[in-house]
Amino acid sequence: MRKRVWFKVLDRCERAVFSLTIRCVEKIRSVKLAMVVKAIVDKLEEAVRSRVERLMGSVGSSLARRIAEIAVSWGNLEAEKWALDKGFIRYVTVMEMNRPFSRF
């Protein structure tokens, strides 16, 4: 609610299902209800994530992988770890976002 996604992302029905589930159910036993609640939670999680975090998964990881492959081909064997390093992926993502004529 602090990020104001509750009303922006969820429609009235989804808000009602989620609120009633929290108020009325101790443990979800229905597979259908669990799937619906999981879909709502996934929707909220995606909406709360920052732009950088979303781009890290789609753009930053592939850029970091390519840079690491180039560095390894130049003889830097430690560069294999770069492709999995969250800090490096974040750095590459922010650099791409701030590049002139970037697609973002």
Quick check: 47 pLDDT over 90? no
pLDDT at 100: 84
- Looking at every residue in the chain, the average pLDDT score rounds to 90
Query: Which amino acid, one-letter code, is at 34?
Result: A
pLDDT in tens, 67-100: 999 999 999 999 999 999 999 999 999 998 888 8
81-88 contact pairs (CB < 8 A, 24+): 86/56, 88/64
pLDDT in tens, 53-72: 888 888 899 999 999 999 99
Helices (H) and strands (E) in the chain, counts: 6, 0
Q: pTM surpassing 0.75? A: no
pLDDT at 10: 93
Residues 6-26 have a mean pLDDT of 93
